[in-house]
Amino acid sequence: MKIIRIVSNFYGVDLLDENNLKTRRRSVVVPRQVAMHLIYDFTPLSFDTVGKLFNKNHATVMHAHKLISDLMPYDLELKQELYDLKILVKSEIYVAKKPKDLLIDDIIAELHKMNIDNVNRIAKILIAETPN
């Protein structure tokens, strides 16, 4: 799933690596919870279906979604990361709807038009994910 790939690249951790599916290390758990939150928000998938993507049950996904939502007002770093990730996910949707020859410059120009913060950081991530 593209959202898992985007979150994995953003945090520099392979969320679907077998060793990471069961780990409780914070460096993996938080990105996994963020991915669950985004997948639930951006897709029509149920908590149960999202959980199956990560070999977790629906209650784990419900907890992750509520936790991320509850932390947003207090954790400004997490809030900014989620904001950046939502832009990346929306950019992926935007690119999917456009012809394959769409240039990364077009996306950067769109981000500038929308007054998006951290355009350069987001652009670097987009460029890293663009096939050669």
Asked if 28 contacts 36 with a C-beta cutoff of 8 angstroms, the reply is no
Span of 6-15, 57-66, 121-130 with lowest mean pLDDT: 121-130
Q: In degrees rounded to 5, what are phi and psi of residue 119?
A: -55, -45
User: Looking at the domain 2-129, which fold is it?
Assistant: Chromosomal Replication Initiator Protein Dnaa; Chain: A; (1.10.1750)
Q: What is the mean pLDDT of residues 18-46?
A: 88
pLDDT in tens, 68-116: 999 999 999 999 999 999 988 887 765 555 544 455 566 666 666 666 6
Confidence of residue 57 (pLDDT cuts 50, 70, 90): very high
- Three-state DSSP at 45 gives coil
Place of tokens 């663009």: 130
pTM of the full structure: 0.72
Amino acid found at 86:
K
**Residue 67 CB partners (closer than 8 Å, separation 6+):** 33
